[in-house]
Structure 1
Amino acid sequence: MTNDLLKLITQMQQPSFYPHAVENIELIQTHASLVFLTGEYAYKVKKSVNYGFLDYSTLDKRKHFIETELKLNQKIAPELYLEVIPLSELDTQLVLNSSKNIVEYALKMRQFPQENLFSNLLKADKLSSDRFIELGKIVAQFHISAESNDRISSFGTVANLNAAFQENYQQSQKYIGTVQTKEQFEATKAYTDSFFDEKKDLFQTRRDRHKIKECHGDLHLKNICLWEDKIQLFDRIEFNESFRFVDTMYDVAFTVMDLEARGKPEFANVFLNSYLEYTGDWSGLLVLPLYLSRQAYVRAKVNSFLLDDPQISEAEKQKAEQTASDYYRQAYQYTQRKLGGLILMSGLSGSGKSTVAKRIAHDLGAIHIRSDAVRKHLAGIALEKPGTESIYTPEMTQKTYDRLLELGTMLTKEGYTVILDAKYDRLTLRQPVITEAKSSNIPLKIVYCTAPISVLRDRLNQRQNDISDAGADLIESQKANAENFTTEEQGYITTVDTSRADWRSEAIYFEGLRFIAFSS
């Protein structure tokens, strides 16, 4: 530690240094920065370091990157990121906010309780599925409004992406036989190599669809918090554009991977389905496994580096060794192909299809695709806005079901279990799915949801804050037009009476839905 850095730390830990009342000052130190927690405010100072991918080695560079950090994060967390303040040295003393003899810069932020980090809230069991539905929408809104242009898109070429992946493998080879096995390393690397070699068109499609954007770059649970009971993303990467100019699924993968690493796959599934429904980017699932493996592998690599740090205690090294091993295993597991399957929901509006589908998705980690969302995305209508009559024409309905079939087929072939959540009340809508499942050897099940007409009416009359436009006035016509299942279809069907108070109970639920064993 240099004398200048030691002096800065010493003086910034004194209450008299600050022009406002302070509580107990706490210092959080990372490899690249110092954060001083003073009570109401936090001050972040960048260290004079150069790691290649991160260069804060001069005052001008630190000024540039701290101003960039403020600008980037004010876009997503204006309540937290306040201003950049110069630190000046006057008569051997450091002072805040003077224009004379500036020796450093600090980023002033609104401080929040550390227990409000999503990582800590999750550990304290203070987060619900509803929070992750909300998080999915917030990340989706952030990505929808994020900038994309030709320069940003160039970061998504196969050459650029593959180079970054290969660097990870080169830097971690030395840990084979200690925290990762040779088999894990070779299988994970082989998956990446074949992915880039065989799916070049997929990466070009992501670029053509403007999915390479100025994203967050580090969207794990320690960079998400609650501020005044609102979800807040913060700490976007400013120091390296290649970490920020990425596929939107790169960001999503970080959150999903982190939740699964913390033993909460059900929250990962809820977050992912919420994000996909809001963006309509179900085709992004084709690249998600690659990025999931990448995020876990990088976490493994970073923890591996700690094993070579002489300043790390043996106890900390043992913890890092176990953490690295767990992440290497997780990175490998993401590369292992799974057997997918297709679940067709069926039933009148208000019969509980979406409720049952959500339960199945929760239990199986399935992708839940609602026809209402697909229809509105095809029409270019925001999900929360009511649809006009034009999106419910026979032609639009056919387009919606065609898209459902396209998505279901595409994703199950990639190993996903997919729930197609629509009425599927006519043979002409169901038969193409059955035909495709047979020809592609896709496991298929049909879940038929039912309830008395009076219950359906009550549910639809009480429905609020839902993307569906169906009302109780449609029940009679839907019932009249619904076609019975054929003898062939009966072999795929299980029926769930959602009017039964105990349908969610283990006995009733698994008696009806245990057929989905193909996904487990």
Structure 2
Amino acid sequence: MSHNVQPALIKNLLSNLRQSPETPSPDSVTLLETHISWIILTGSIAYKLKKPVDLGFLNFSTLAQRKYYCEEELRLNARLAPDVYLGVNTVNGSEDKPMIEGDGPVIEYAILMREFPQSAQLDNRLKQGLLSSENMEAIGTMLADFHLQLPPALLTNEYGDLAQIHQLVDDNITVLKAYLSDDETTLSSIEEWIDKQNKALAPFFIQRKQNGFIRECHGDLHLRNLIWIDDHPVAFDCLEFDESLRWIDVMCEVAFLVMDLLSRQQTALAYAFLNQYLQQTGDYAGLALLPYYISYRALVRAKIDALRDQQSGISPQEFKATETELHAYMDLALQISQYKQPTLIITRGLSASGKSSISKPLAAELGAIRIRSDVERKRLNNLKATDSAATTVETGLYSKQATQDTYHRLLEVTEQTLAAGFDVIVDAVFMHKAQRQSFQRLAEKMGYRFVILEFTASVELLKQRIVSRKKEASDADLNVLVHQLRQWQALDSDEANYCLEVSTEVPVDVNALAILTTNFPQH
């Protein structure tokens, strides 16, 4: 079917749907258009038809190809959005008299979808001020659950190979070099960093594939492809037209959403999502590749903007908006490439002193990775964070050996994460000096900034909190608190210089605490 007759089919479909007795209101039938699709809205149901185009990177030019990719889109999105993607319908008859699931020959295919308001898209919710840290944490949990159940790619295929990863990155550079020929300074700096990273990260890329982290992901996970509906997040519009762009490292998928938020100056939302994802999966080792993949995703979007700017018929307003967006992506890629001295923050405080409740929003505000002893202790024993491991003091998961193993795990993950260039908050009691000392030595050895956040509250308030708090990762009860109080000792003089005390007797201003922590003097 030729491209120039397709709009007649769409026009007649719109007319027929407006006249259909099943349509609630003729005025509710409207058309949305992208560069590869038409979406007909009816008020409750949407029909998505693929345009008969061949753009090189995708080919929908034949009816058989459009049928195949409609079915692929349905298969892929059934994994994350089964209530949105309802089936594939035929369009029958003729271009003059097309009917959905009608009589006569099949002339087109349409994906049948549940319609949702555009205001549900997360890019629109962000503009409306309706996107919260809790929303992003829910997305972190949703994506973690999705990734954990995906089978890994076969080691024999090319997905996740060094050559393939490098080629995808090089394709972006080639397009951007041609477009930004008058101003190559930024791109040259980014390209130089990428070349160094390709060499430095080669063993990590190889190990990730061997360890099964290349999986058939969503492939196009950014705010415009996420909705908040029925009080939970839904990811839709999986990338169906090129399997090499969705059989990727799960951390490359995470990087897309993190990049999208960072490019919009939404650091707290990005890290609320990222920390929840990491807490669920434990994939802190993947952070070694995250800056590289954030840069890659920023350059992909910059390339798309560059190509859009060169299309005929683009309006001056659209050109200006696209240029602004392109340079935001380039600025982010440049920022990622520049070294920043990481900061290591450890908490210290009795159970229920507010370590976890404050360190979570603080990590988001600072753009730091939070590593929790309560969670990692249970991960070491193949338990979920919310599984109960309550026992008598210093037995079971809380024996001296188990606690030693937990702090060793915390140190190991902290070392990896700092080496990847991220600030870290370690959320733990840190009761004994030996536990704190290994982290202090790491910071001093590597030249990282080091801060101890000591959380305090009255014993009476601690007891009230323990009795009344909801069950989460911590198993601490009143017996644990009593045990801690008996052993508690003040910080030594060599530690006191690093200590910032945080009283939780009154509500804590997290933004102010973030500023204090960032500017805390180093001795």
- The interval holding the TM-score normalised by the smaller chain is over 0.9
Change (3 A) 1:512 1:457: farther
Q: 2:79 aligns with which of 71, 75, 79?
A: 75
Q: CA deviation at 1:83?
A: 0.8
Does the CA-based 8 Å contact 1:86-1:99 persist in structure 2?
no
Which amino acid is 2:348 matched to? S
Deviations 1:328-373, CA, capped at 9 Å, x for gaps: 2222212212110111101111111112322431331111111111
Further displaced range: 313-322 or 214-223: 313-322
Q: CA deviation at 1:477?
A: 0.5
Query: What does residue range 191-202 of structure 1 map to in structure 2 within 5 Å?
Result: 191-202=193-204
- 1:356 and 2:362 matched: no
The residue number in structure 1 matching 2:509 is 504
Does the CA-based 8 Å contact 1:87-1:98 persist in structure 2?
yes
- 1:26 and 2:27 matched: no
* C-alpha separation in 1, matches of 2:251 and 2:357: 26
The residue number in structure 2 matching 1:281 is 283
Further displaced range: 324-333 or 346-355: 324-333
* C-alpha separation in 2, matches of 1:49 and 1:90: 20
* C-alpha separation in 2, matches of 1:91 and 1:301: 36
Which amino acid is 1:141 matched to? D
Which amino acid is 2:463 matched to? R
Does the CA-based 8 Å contact 1:280-1:373 persist in structure 2?
no
* C-alpha separation in 1, matches of 2:473 and 2:388: 8
Change (3 A) 1:490 1:65: same
Deviations 1:280-325, CA, capped at 9 Å, x for gaps: 1111111111111111111111111122211212232222222212
Equivalences, count: 514
The residue number in structure 2 matching 1:297 is 299
* C-alpha separation in 2, matches of 1:41 and 1:426: 61
Deviations 1:66-121, CA, capped at 9 Å, x for gaps: 10110111121111110100111249421111463111100000001110111111
* C-alpha separation in 2, matches of 1:11 and 1:219: 33
Q: Classify the secondary structure of the residue corresponding to 1:470.
A: coil
Query: What does residue range 206-217 of structure 1 map to in structure 2 within 5 Å?
Result: 206-217=208-219
Does the CA-based 8 Å contact 2:3-2:53 persist in structure 1?
no
- 1:257 and 2:259 matched: yes
Q: Classify the secondary structure of the residue corresponding to 2:90.
A: strand
Does the CA-based 8 Å contact 2:218-2:238 persist in structure 1?
yes
Instruction: Please tell me the root mean square deviation across aligned C-alpha atoms, in Å.
Output: 2.1
- 1:366 and 2:368 matched: yes
Further displaced range: 189-198 or 77-86: 189-198
* C-alpha separation in 2, matches of 1:382 and 1:510: 30
Does the CA-based 8 Å contact 1:346-1:447 persist in structure 2?
yes
* C-alpha separation in 2, matches of 1:410 and 1:21: 57
TM-score by length of 1: 0.94
The residue number in structure 2 matching 1:345 is 347
The residue number in structure 1 matching 2:176 is 172
Which amino acid is 1:96 matched to? I
- 1:448 and 2:454 matched: yes
The residue number in structure 2 matching 1:235 is 237
- 1:144 and 2:145 matched: no
Does the CA-based 8 Å contact 2:172-2:303 persist in structure 1?
yes
Does the CA-based 8 Å contact 1:87-1:105 persist in structure 2?
yes
Does the CA-based 8 Å contact 2:362-2:511 persist in structure 1?
no
Query: What does residue range 56-95 of structure 1 map to in structure 2 within 5 Å?
Result: 56-90=60-94, 92-95=96-99
* C-alpha separation in 2, matches of 1:444 and 1:340: 9
Does the CA-based 8 Å contact 1:495-1:512 persist in structure 2?
no
The residue number in structure 1 matching 2:3 is 2
Runs (5+) with no aligned partner, structure 2: none
Change (3 A) 1:218 1:386: same
The residue number in structure 2 matching 1:377 is 379
Change (3 A) 1:91 1:267: closer
* C-alpha separation in 1, matches of 2:299 and 2:214: 21
Runs ≥4 in structure 1, deviation > 3 angstroms? 16-19, 151-154, 509-518
The residue number in structure 2 matching 1:331 is 333
Q: 1:414 aligns with which of 420, 431, 446?
A: 420
Runs (5+) with no aligned partner, structure 1: none
Does the CA-based 8 Å contact 1:340-1:414 persist in structure 2?
no
Change (3 A) 1:512 1:39: closer
Deviations 1:154-182, CA, capped at 9 Å, x for gaps: 4111111001111111122111245xx31
Which amino acid is 1:114 matched to? Q
* C-alpha separation in 2, matches of 1:490 and 1:16: 74
Q: CA deviation at 1:211?
A: 1.3
Further displaced range: 103-112 or 450-459: 450-459
The residue number in structure 1 matching 2:435 is 429
The residue number in structure 2 matching 1:11 is 12
Q: CA deviation at 1:22?
A: 4.3
Further displaced range: 475-484 or 396-405: 475-484
Q: Classify the secondary structure of the residue corresponding to 1:217.
A: coil
Q: 1:47 aligns with which of 51, 54, 58?
A: 51
Q: Classify the secondary structure of the residue corresponding to 1:419.
A: strand
* C-alpha separation in 2, matches of 1:161 and 1:316: 31
Does the CA-based 8 Å contact 1:11-1:17 persist in structure 2?
no
- 1:127 and 2:131 matched: yes
Further displaced range: 107-116 or 481-490: 481-490
Change (3 A) 1:431 1:151: closer
The residue number in structure 2 matching 1:115 is 119
Which amino acid is 1:5 matched to? Q
Identity of aligned residues (%): 33
Further displaced range: 327-336 or 39-48: 327-336
Which amino acid is 2:352 matched to? G
Further displaced range: 97-106 or 195-204: 97-106
Q: Classify the secondary structure of the residue corresponding to 1:411.
A: helix
Q: Classify the secondary structure of the residue corresponding to 1:13.
A: helix
Change (3 A) 1:168 1:19: farther
Does the CA-based 8 Å contact 2:8-2:95 persist in structure 1?
no
* C-alpha separation in 2, matches of 1:111 and 1:321: 31
Which amino acid is 1:391 matched to? L
Q: CA deviation at 1:425?
A: 0.2
Q: CA deviation at 1:147?
A: 2.3
Change (3 A) 1:301 1:514: closer
Further displaced range: 482-491 or 129-138: 482-491
Change (3 A) 1:506 1:140: closer
Does the CA-based 8 Å contact 1:153-1:207 persist in structure 2?
no
